[in-house]
Amino acid sequence: MKLWVKIMIKSKLVFATGNQDKYKEVSKIFAGTNYELLKVTDVGEMFEIIEDGDTYEANAFIKAKAIFDKFGYPVIADDSGIEVEQLDNRPGIYAARYAGENCTYSDNNKKLLSELKELEKPHKAKFVCCALFYDGEKLIPAMGELKGQIVDEPRGNKGFGYDPVFMPDGYDITCAEMELEDKNKISHRGRAFNNLKNLLEQS
Ligand code: IMP
């Protein structure tokens, strides 16, 4: 009797991030695919990358190219931010340093709430993420969004960044009041990387 064993050789793919939470979230999405998702620290040492692009895609590409050029593996990378309609889509790609250099998440949230204080509700907003694949030749970008609104006061202590002030459409809790797994199912990043996974499987 012949015994056929199916061997699946996985392609190595490095995720260009130093953020362990992002790595955990995205490795779940890539589990069961033809790709073995590696951390930067699996192939070398993480180093500082200056993200000075003017779009999410440009910044994600800067990260992907820096890691590809240094280590030579195919890479996935992402960049995200938050856009508030009444603020002409600010802070957008500048979300991390909205309240200034070296500011905290809490500084950013305070600044956002004070800018919206006098404006009429609802304060419509969305999280946006660009995820992309780069292997030195092929560049595959994919977008993901999560729509919602900014609430009056920070609520909840899970998650990070703008999660305490962001309430997704269809929910009456903020992202910081959700279990991480629930947030990941609807998040802009989850959507962008699921789209990217599908595009990679078709390519
Ligand atoms: P990054 O450059 O993709 O790491 O994200 C830039 C900034 O966007 C972060 O520092 C956060 O302030 C904000 N941000 C991105 N994703 C999220 C999220 O899922 N929740 C809350 N804030 C986020």
Share of the chain above pLDDT 70, in %: 96
Q: What is the pLDDT of residue 10?
A: 85
Pick the residue whose CA is nearest to atom 8 on ligand 1: 81
ω before 122 within 30° of 0 (cis)? yes
Q: Is the pLDDT of residue 21 over 80?
A: no
Residue in 54, 162, 191 to alter for ligand 1 test, most ligand atoms within 8 A of Cβ? 162
152 is catalytic: no
Indicate the DSSP class of residue 187: -
Q: What is the pLDDT of residue 20?
A: 84
**CB distance 177 to ligand 1 below 6 Å:** no
Using CA atoms, how far residue 18 sits from 46, 67, 115, 118, 192, in Å, is 7, 11, 31, 38, 18
List, for residues 157-198, the tens digit of each pLDDT value: 998 899 999 999 999 999 999 998 899 889 999 999 999 999
Pick the residue whose CA is nearest to atom 17 on ligand 1: 161
**CB distance 98 to ligand 1 below 6 Å:** no
**Alpha carbon distance 91, 29 (integer Å):** 28
List, for residues 135-164, the tens digit of each pLDDT value: 999 999 999 999 999 999 999 999 889 999
Mean residue pLDDT of the chain comes to 94
Q: Is the pLDDT of residue 1 over 80?
A: no
